[in-house]
Amino acid sequence: MQQRSKHRFANLPEGGENPLDYAVAQRDKSTLTMVRDAVDHKQTLMAYQPVIRDVSSNSVAFHEGLIRVLDPTGRVIPAREFMSVVETTQLGREIDVLSLRAGMMALQQNPNLRISINMSARSIGFKAWTSMMNRWLSRDATLGERLILEISEQSAMLMPELVADFINNMQDQGVCFALDNFGSGYTAIRYFKDLYFDILKIDGQFTRGISKNAENRALITVMVSIAENFDMVTVAEQVENKEDSAMLRELGIDCQQGYLFGGPTTRPYWSIKPENRKSG
């Protein structure tokens, strides 16, 4: 019996490390390896989700580009399953470069397209990222007028002064900025006068089920007021049913994004040849 017990615990960490912490560390290590291999072998692609300006006509304001990686079996892995692990690493910066490159290529190939691309504030000082941005804008200055860069609330607050300078410089070249996942972190409101974001994207935890949640309706009302005061367009994220959509319109939300209008797709309409598009 004693021999069997030793065998059962032979692979557990030594030195008193918490088994749960060890399991999380091993999972994160596995995720890093998987993403590293995908990047090295160019097994990445972009999925695009529409952001709707006019709900009644499904008029699209822009599309958000979302990076995906393929695991060894070819399965598509959404960014939410790995970005938290790679965010603070060199790999996270490389993924931002890949996202930017894919987005700029789509803009160049489709003159009527407007796209938002996610980036970390940490990539502002990453040479490969800034060099790529400058290269694309020097080739065609009009690309900046159709590009939106999304920075999450949590990321922006890591280095607000640096983000403010970066926004000012890029807005001079026509680039717009969206503060992503607003409400999920701890944004100091005093930074709003320095961080000139053009778009405020409200986190899905406040929009899901809002038609039946009076507290979230009160919070959304405050967020809309803040956005209006700072001349920002509001986008409600993760809108999944008509009741919530109608309530968000009533509360003054400008644009909506979510599965009610379409999920992220790796085959957006502009990538499909006209003869292969379904009519109607």
Q: For residue 7, is it within any domain?
A: no
Whole-number average pLDDT of the chain = 88
pTM metric for this prediction: 0.87
User: Domain range for residue 264?
Assistant: 42-276
Query: What's the pLDDT at 164?
Result: 94
Q: For residue 206, is it within any domain?
A: yes
The full 3-state SS of 30-67, as one line of letters, equals: HHHHHHHHHHHCCCEEEEEEEEEEECCCCEEEEEEEEE
Q: How far apart are CA 69 and CA 64, in angstroms?
A: 16
Q: For residue 223, is it within any domain?
A: yes
Q: For residue 118, is it within any domain?
A: yes
Token pair recorded at residue 277: 């598009």
Q: Residue 47 pLDDT > 70, yes or no?
A: yes
* CATH classification at residue 55: 3.20.20.450
Q: How far apart are CA 279 and CA 267, in angstroms?
A: 16
* DSSP letter (8 states) at residue 122: G
* DSSP letter (8 states) at residue 198: S
Encoded amino acid at 90, one letter: Q
Least confident of 28-32, 91-95, 170-174: 28-32
Q: For residue 8, is it within any domain?
A: no
Q: Where are the alpha helices (DSSP H) in the chain?
A: 2-8, 19-40, 83-86, 90-109, 127-139, 153-156, 160-171, 204-207, 214-229, 242-250
Token pair recorded at residue 209: 């089920």
Q: Which residues pair with 78 in a beta bridge?
A: 68
Q: How many domains does the chain divide into?
A: 1
Q: For residue 23, is it within any domain?
A: no
Query: What's the pLDDT at 19?
Result: 63
In this structure, are residues 105 and 73 in contact, taking their beta carbons and an 8 Å threshold?
Answer: no
Between the CA of residue 261 and those of 12, 61, 167, 266, what are the distances in Å?
47, 12, 30, 16
pLDDT digits (tens, 9 = 90+) for 163-180: 999 999 999 999 999 999
Question: How many residues belong to the chain?
Answer: 280
Q: For residue 4, is it within any domain?
A: no
In this structure, are residues 220 and 207 in contact, taking their beta carbons and an 8 Å threshold?
Answer: yes
pLDDT digits (tens, 9 = 90+) for 121-151: 999 999 999 999 999 999 998 999 999 999 9
Q: For residue 52, is it within any domain?
A: yes
pLDDT digits (tens, 9 = 90+) for 97-125: 999 999 999 999 999 999 999 999 999 99
Q: Residue 44 pLDDT > 80, yes or no?
A: yes
Q: Residue 9 pLDDT > 90, yes or no?
A: no
Please, what sign has the CA dihedral across residues 12, 17, 23, 25?
A: negative
